[in-house]
Amino acid sequence: MGGARVLAMLGTLAVALLAAPVVYLVVRALGADPLASLPLVLRPRTGALLLTSLGLALLVALAVGALGTLQALLLARLRLPAPRVLLALAALPLAMPSYVAAFGWLGLVPSMQGFWAAWLQLTIVSTPYVTLPVYAALRSAPAGLEIAARSLGRGPIAALRQVTWPIVRPAATAGALLAGLYALADFGVVSLMRVETLSTGIARAMGAGFDRSYAALLGLVLVAAAIALVLLEQRVRRAVPAARVRSAAPLRLGAGRWAPLAIATVLITPLVAIGVPVATLVARALHAQAVRSIEWAELLQTAGTSVSLALVAGILAILLAAPISLLAARHPSPVSRTLEGAATIAHALPGIVVGLSLVFLSLALVPWAYQTIGVLIAAYALLATPRAVGGVRAAIERVPVRYEQLARSLGRRPARAFSSTTGRIAIGGVGVAALLAAVAALKELPATLLLRPTGVDTLATALWARTDVSEYGAAAPFALVLVACAAVPAMLVLATAVERDQDIDLTDRSAAP
């Protein structure tokens, strides 16, 4: 019981740190002059930014829901060649930074700009948010229900609609809402595609005269919209059926002459999200090398800086997530559920809001720390911690508690019993969570732009600086290295999950685009 109290205190401290950015924005907004701040919130531009952001998020969610469900149905219900390979390829867009995909397409089609271009880019990189959980739900759905419906005269489509769809609908809806959340918080794609949203409005407010009040108010509007989506997603996800026990005989139909079309439907997202952008970047890099030498020293330095910062942030995120995850896994209670729920709500914080808040906090409390490596790592860790909580908890829950009880019965103290049993077995899963948290930090763009120390570049900021001045050839090597650094660990995790036929928890956005 004493251990649970210690974990509860440490978890409360971690949640307080996660909530600090939003709390500061609220305090700042309440401390502002209402006569001055209210007109800022109610001005037509704020409403236009909000409507554009919500419209983009809604349309992305609808498109991802439809395409992802179709892909999952094809993968789960048709006998296609190399099904695990196809599933891994369908998951590939999760490893692609969305702004890199958009940058690659702009190198091929410079006129690809505007609302619908941003919608397309965000849709293709977000489709796995629905494909993977719906596939898992279909694999767990009892095949006998569809067979019974077919025996009663229902056609394949009618059987799917009346029997299978109610089972997978919660998974599809939850995944679509997560995709909408990502679109709502996106900064890179909408900036490259010249679309005015709340994220770009915050950046403009920060850059144009350092308008802190308006930027803070826009940040609160964005957080409120994001939290509403997360709460809705959580409510839907509670209805998702357990997908860890598969049907003994999953229903699969012969694809026949429709196999090529089905395979093309599954491969369209990795091709458009990764194949075309990477091919364009490679062509640009080769062309740049022919015109002038690539800046190898700067490329290696920024890659080393990015990887180092990301690894430190990943470890720090695990340390912050550990007490919350351990309390939820080993001491379930209203307190543990509250702390875990609060950490999940922090999952809604967009990177630009965390960066904005830490700019304000560092200038107000520790001005000497402003634009230092420490503040940047703190931002990475705050963004990655909510994503690490689920991974750490899952790793601990996979270890039966009786192992610890047996070690205790042999005379070992609680800490020693935990480290020699659960800790030793769960370390692999915790390492995976740390790796995915590091990948999320590696790809983070808006917080890095706001907080990086002067003279310190990461792969994301080096790429962004060159896209801003249209140096596409010079930017291509940085984009390719960023893709490689982000994709290799993320795909190792995805490949392992597919090989073991495990479910991939997409409430963890750390492998997200």
Token pair in block for residue 115: 């609302």
pLDDT greater than 60 at residue 274: yes
Residues 188, 99: contact at Cβ < 8 Å?
A: yes
Q: How confident is the model at residue 61 (pLDDT cuts 50, 70, 90)?
A: very high
Rounded Cα distance between 141 and 125, Å, is 27
Token pair in block for residue 201: 């409005």
Higher pLDDT among residues 4 and 16, named by residue: 16
Q: How confident is the model at residue 512 (pLDDT cuts 50, 70, 90)?
A: very low
Long-range pairs for 431-434 at CB < 8 Å and ≥24 separation? 432/391, 432/395, 432/493, 432/496, 433/318, 433/321, 433/388, 433/390, 433/391, 433/392, 433/395, 433/508, 433/510, 434/314, 434/315, 434/317, 434/318, 434/388
Rounded Cα distance between 267 and 273, Å, is 10
Higher pLDDT among residues 131 and 245, named by residue: 131
Who's near 245: CB < 8 A, 6+ residues apart?
140
pLDDT greater than 50 at residue 245: no
How would DSSP label each residue in 125-172? HHTHHHHHHHHHHHHHS-HHHHHHHHHTT--HHHHIIIIIHHHHHHHH
Distances (CA, A) of 286 to 5, 106, 274, 320: 59, 17, 18, 43
**Which pLDDT value is given to residue 110?**
86
Lowest-pLDDT range of 61-65, 114-118, 181-185, 337-341: 337-341
Q: Which CATH architecture group holds 43-247+263-291?
A: Orthogonal Bundle (1.10)
Token pair in block for residue 45: 């531009």
**Which pLDDT value is given to residue 247?**
44
Higher pLDDT among residues 240 and 216, named by residue: 216
What is the average pLDDT across 231-249? 56
Residue percentage of the chain with pLDDT more than 90 = 15
pLDDT in tens, 351-382: 888 888 888 888 888 888 888 898 999 999 99
SS3 at position 1: coil
Could you tell me the pTM of the whole model?
A: 0.81
Q: How confident is the model at residue 94 (pLDDT cuts 50, 70, 90)?
A: confident
DSSP 8-state class, residue 273? I
Fold of 1-22+292-468: MetI-like fold (1.10.3720)
Residue spans of the domains in the chain: they are 1-22+292-468, 43-247+263-291
What is the average pLDDT across 415-444? 83
Helix, strand, coil shares of the chain as percentages rounded to 5? 80, 0, 20
Rounded Cα distance between 433 and 42, Å, is 41
What is the average pLDDT across 389-403? 81
What is the average pLDDT across 235-257? 53
